[in-house]
Chains A and B, each alone.
Chain A
């Protein structure tokens, strides 16, 4: 799985994080090191969709949190992925 928007949403699902923390976390749980352009492309898109929002901060490192709409979208995406995983696994087993 390498869709940057899904990776960012999953990354923010437990707590707000700033850009560098997102990069580190995504690398740790998905083994993918997002480049700065890709990460901020995804952040821009997700914020535009209203799925993430900036958290008030005095630091230049701007943290983001998952919004309620973002949580719903992530749940829907993960449910679909789980369905794909289940189907694929079951078909492989029967092949």
Chain B
């Protein structure tokens, strides 16, 4: 008998296997390759385990299902290949402008069209969003030392990844801002997605669900129904309530000093913040200017986040984020600090700081996280159900009956 069916049979309760394993194995042999019937076999094992109420096996069964789901996720997600090129910085003064130009929407849009990148994504999303994702997730420009840097690009086709890196690097080398050290590599292996992390998440979620189901099965059937209703009610309630919470959009921008040794100094003094926060275009509820400026300034500071990041050439660089209830407000919040312009038009701030990445227009909200809220509601609901059942009758099933009396003897 093949190994996979033999392993899957082990998911069934021991008592069940003592009675049915031989004939069940004979059936699987007669059927030939398991193929599409594997999920049915796993689901059958889970149902048997639930009837058997054996915690360890139930948890293992759920853990195994979580593992299989994680493997399926990995198989379904296309491999990504990372091509890399390294260059020596020859003109440090021009590097900032070059990088802004190479990573500008116009330049990336041209590369996407020429290399025919992201075909399926472009069918579903506007090009603007595809470019944002490409810049944020797939392209990495990293400083390697004070006078060298690398460009990496991750894509599902290794040859296209190589061509794209070559084209990106050409944006620097063609004008003499950088000299090539290593041309774009042709990746032979897919990049190391964090496989072990994904697998462990799958197993952990499976084990947690196994624990949850086992816990519910310890109660009497009546209490099980009460728990299921309370859990589902809590999850539905919290999920529904999440729609009452304001959505949060986050816009980001990256600014950098024009020269090494100059620190990025953003306009965040009280006078600046007062001017930005008082802008009637920023907060929708202040269109009539009735909210006290102190309150607006406090809110602005709360919404604003500034963090230092690394930059080629060792220059000082920071990422500015602004969270707000509308995408427009988030973008205006960031643009307040970067000079009021937020498209492909680098703006010098006091001639000491330049905008590398302009204030983005967030297409989708960053919060509230409805899945987390629903899970929270499920947990609270189950807890409330357990407390309620204990108060009523003590709830715990004193003598759980076996599901397989037919073969217990």
Quick check: B47 and A20 within 8 Å, CB to CB? no
What's the least CB distance linking B297 to chain A, in Å?
Answer: 63
Residues of A within 8 A of B30 (CB): 19-20, 61
Judged by DSSP, the binding face of B is helix
Q: Is A41 an interface residue (CB 8 A)?
A: yes
Q: Which of A18, A37, A38 contacts B23 (CB 8 A)?
A: A18
Q: Produce 1/0 per residue, A47-72, CB < 8 A to B.
A: 11000000000011110000000000
Q: What is the CA–CA distance of A61 and B30 in the complex, to the nearest angstrom?
A: 9
Interface residues of B in 1-49 (CB under 8 A from A): 16, 20, 22-28, 30-31, 37, 39-45, 47-48
Quick check: A19 and B27 within 8 Å, CB to CB? yes
Q: What is the CA–CA distance of A60 and B30 in the complex, to the nearest angstrom?
A: 11
Q: What is the CA–CA distance of A41 and B48 in the complex, to the nearest angstrom?
A: 8
What's the least CB distance linking B272 to chain A, in Å?
Answer: 66
Interface size band for A: 10 to 19
Residues of B within 8 A of A60 (CB): 22-23, 25-26
Residues of B within 8 A of A48 (CB): 404-406
Quick check: B41 and A61 within 8 Å, CB to CB? no
Judged by DSSP, the binding face of A is helix
What's the least CB distance linking B71 to chain A, in Å?
Answer: 19
Who on chain B is nearest to A21 by CB?
Answer: B30
Quick check: A36 and B48 within 8 Å, CB to CB? no
Q: Which of B16, B28, B44, B404 contacts A38 (CB 8 A)?
A: B44
Interface residues of A in 19-38 (CB under 8 A from B): 19-20, 23, 35-38
Residues of B within 8 A of A18 (CB): 23, 26-27
Q: What is the CA–CA distance of A51 and B22 in the complex, to the nearest angstrom?
A: 21
Q: What is the CA–CA distance of A39 and B41 in the complex, to the nearest angstrom?
A: 10
Quick check: B37 and A40 within 8 Å, CB to CB? no
Q: What is the CA–CA distance of A18 and B30 in the complex, to the nearest angstrom?
A: 11
What's the least CB distance linking A16 to chain B, in Å?
Answer: 13
Quick check: B41 and A36 within 8 Å, CB to CB? yes
Residues of B within 8 A of A59 (CB): 26
Quick check: B41 and A35 within 8 Å, CB to CB? yes
Residues of B within 8 A of A40 (CB): 20, 24, 27, 44
What's the least CB distance linking A57 to chain B, in Å?
Answer: 9
Q: Is A89 an interface residue (CB 8 A)?
A: no
Residues of A within 8 A of B47 (CB): 37, 41
Q: What is the CA–CA distance of A32 and B118 in the complex, to the nearest angstrom?
A: 41
Quick check: B20 and A36 within 8 Å, CB to CB? no
Quick check: A36 and B22 within 8 Å, CB to CB? no
Quick check: A36 and B26 within 8 Å, CB to CB? no
Q: Which of A20, A35, A39, A44 contacts B48 (CB 8 A)?
A: A44
Q: Produce 1/0 per residue, B369-409, CB < 8 A to A.
A: 00000000000000000000000000000000000111000
Quick check: B48 and A19 within 8 Å, CB to CB? no
Q: Which of A19, A41, A61 contacts B44 (CB 8 A)?
A: A41
Q: Which of B26, B405, B406 contacts A19 (CB 8 A)?
A: B26
Quick check: B16 and A20 within 8 Å, CB to CB? no
Evaluate whether A35 and B37 lie within 8 angstroms (CB atoms) in the complex, with A40-B44, A44-B20, A60-B22 already known. Answer: yes
Q: What is the CA–CA distance of A43 and B404 in the complex, to the nearest angstrom?
A: 12
Quick check: A37 and B22 within 8 Å, CB to CB? no
Evaluate whether A37 and B43 lie within 8 angstroms (CB atoms) in the complex, with A44-B406, A48-B406 already known. Answer: yes
Quick check: B41 and A37 within 8 Å, CB to CB? yes
What's the least CB distance linking B153 to chain A, in Å?
Answer: 44
What's the least CB distance linking A94 to chain B, in Å?
Answer: 40
Q: What is the CA–CA distance of A20 and B30 in the complex, to the nearest angstrom?
A: 7
Q: Which of B16, B20, B44, B406 contacts A35 (CB 8 A)?
A: B44
Max count, chain A CB within 10 A of own CB: residue among B28, B405, B406: B406
Quick check: B45 and A36 within 8 Å, CB to CB? no
Return the 6 tightest CB-CB contacts between A and B, nearest first.
Answer: A37-B44, A35-B40, A19-B27, A62-B23, A20-B30, A60-B26
22 contacts between A and B (CB under 8 A): A18-B27, A20-B27, A23-B31, A35-B37, A35-B39, A35-B44, A36-B24, A36-B31, A36-B40, A36-B41, A37-B45, A38-B40, A41-B44, A41-B47, A44-B16, A44-B20, A44-B406, A48-B404, A60-B25, A60-B26, A62-B22, A62-B23
A23-B31, A35-B44 given; 16 more Cβ-contact pairs under 8 Å: A35-B40, A36-B41, A37-B37, A37-B40, A37-B45, A38-B44, A39-B27, A40-B24, A40-B44, A41-B47, A43-B20, A44-B404, A60-B25, A61-B23, A61-B27, A62-B26
Interface of B toward A, CB cutoff 8 Å: 16, 20, 22-28, 30-31, 37, 39-45, 47-48, 404-406
